[in-house]
Amino acid sequence: MSFALRVRQIINALNLSTVLGLIVAKSLGASLHRGPDGLVIATGARGSFPRASAFTIGNVIVARGSLPGSDLQRHEARHSSQWACCVVAFLPLYMMASVWSYFRAGNHFSHNVFERRAGLAEGGYPEPPGSGPRRRGGTGQAGGG
């Protein structure tokens, strides 16, 4: 495991987010598995909140079904790093970003900086219209200028 991933693991242990993730996973009836890069993958979680097929708390990826695919694991691993960077502020910041996105786009992900930085496509989210590459100084629209 790289130094950065070890630091992520330690920070998420010290800020107790991984402990919270383990408690949530077990309370949802999930089975725990050792994942890559210091992550724990909890599979078979029950319950209806949140509605996502997987979510991350600290170094714990909680999945509704079986082991998530590699794309979704990479997406959720980025959320684990976000937990480490934001420490205990991650949850309120994520919720504010979700509300902002909902008001802007009618969903929690299109304009949510945390979901965008984790990779919308890898998380199974559609790219919002007009989010493709932009030309410097252009309008971002085809033929615009």
Express each pLDDT in 24-80 by its tens digit. Answer: 999 999 999 999 999 999 999 998 877 788 999 999 999 998 887 889 999 999 999
Q: What are phi and psi of 57, to 5 degrees?
A: -130, 115
pLDDT at 66: 84
Q: Is 35 domain-assigned?
A: yes
Q: Is 117 domain-assigned?
A: no
Q: Is 127 domain-assigned?
A: no
Looking at this protein, which amino acid is placed at residue 51?
R
Our count of domains for the chain comes to: 1
Q: Is 95 domain-assigned?
A: no
Q: Is 13 domain-assigned?
A: yes
Q: Is 28 domain-assigned?
A: yes
Domain of residue 47: give its range. 3-86
Q: Is 56 domain-assigned?
A: yes
Please, which residues have CB within 8 angstroms of residue 93's CB and are 6 or more apart in sequence? 86, 114
Task: Say if residue 128 is preceded by a cis peptide, omega within 30 of 0.
Answer: no
Q: Which tens digit of pLDDT belongs to each residue from 90-111?
A: 999 999 999 999 999 998 899 9
Decide: 36 and 73 in contact? Cβ < 8 Å: yes
Q: Is 36 domain-assigned?
A: yes
Give the Å distances, CA to CA, from 69 to 53, 61, 64, 78.
11, 12, 12, 14
